Amino acid sequence: MLMKVLTKNTDYAIRALLVLGTHEGEYVSARQISQQQGIPYQFLRRILQELNKNGLTTSREGAHGGVRLEKNPDAIRVRDVIEIFQGKVELSECMFRKQICANRASCVLRHEIMRIEEIVSREFGQITLGKLLTDLTKLNATATMDHTDEFEIINSGSHEKTDCDHR
C-alpha cells in the first residue's frame, strides 16, 4: 500500500473519459456518469469542470446538456490527466536544479529517483484514452455477455464502498 500515483481525482477522471469515449459526439450528463460509474456526483462535477477547462471536453448547459469529448481519444494521454489533477510526474521535489542544496550528499539517490521519474512519466505518456477504449471493447467482446450495455457497475448500489478502485 503505497505510491499514491493515482488519486481519486485522476481515477474518476479517466473513468469518466472512458464513458465519454464510448459516446463520442454525444453530450453525457454528470448524473449519468456518476450513476454508471459509482462516482460521487458532486466530486465528479468538479472533475468534469476541470476537464473542460483543460480542453479535453466541452460542455453544454441546461436540459439535455452534459459533457462531450472534445479531443481525439488518441490524443489524450493518461499522463495529461495525471498532470491536470496531480501536477507534473515527479517523485521528488528537490530543488537541485536551482542550487547546490543542503543535502547534496544524498543526491546520489536523487539522481536515481529522477531517472525512474522519467520512466514512469514516459510510460503514462504512452497510454492513450484511445488505447484504453480499444482494450475495453475487446474486453467486452470476449465477455460474451447477454446484457448489451458496454460497461457499468456490476455489484454495489452506487456510492457504497466499491470493493476496489485504482489506488
Partner DNA sequence: TTATCTGACACTAAATTAGTATCATTTATT
Partner DNA sequence: AATAAATGATACTAATTTAGTGTCAGATAA
Residue ranges binding a second copy (CB under 8 A) = 1-6, 11, 14-15, 18, 37-38, 78, 82, 86-96, 99-113, 115-117, 119-120, 123-124, 127, 132, 135-136, 139-140, 150-156, 162-167
- Work out the burial of residue 29: count CB atoms within 10 Å of its CB; fewer than 13 is exposed, 13-18 middle, 19 or more buried: middle
Return the number of the residue (31 or 104) whose C-beta is nearest a second copy: 104
Least Å distance between CB 37 and ligand FES?
10
Residue found under cell 531517472: 115
Rounded distance between C-alpha atoms, residue 123 and residue 105, angstroms: 29
- Work out the burial of residue 42: count CB atoms within 10 Å of its CB; fewer than 13 is exposed, 13-18 middle, 19 or more buried: exposed
List interacting residues with DNA (CB under 7 A).
2, 4, 7-9, 29-31, 40-43, 45-46, 48-49, 52-53, 59-67, 86, 159, 167
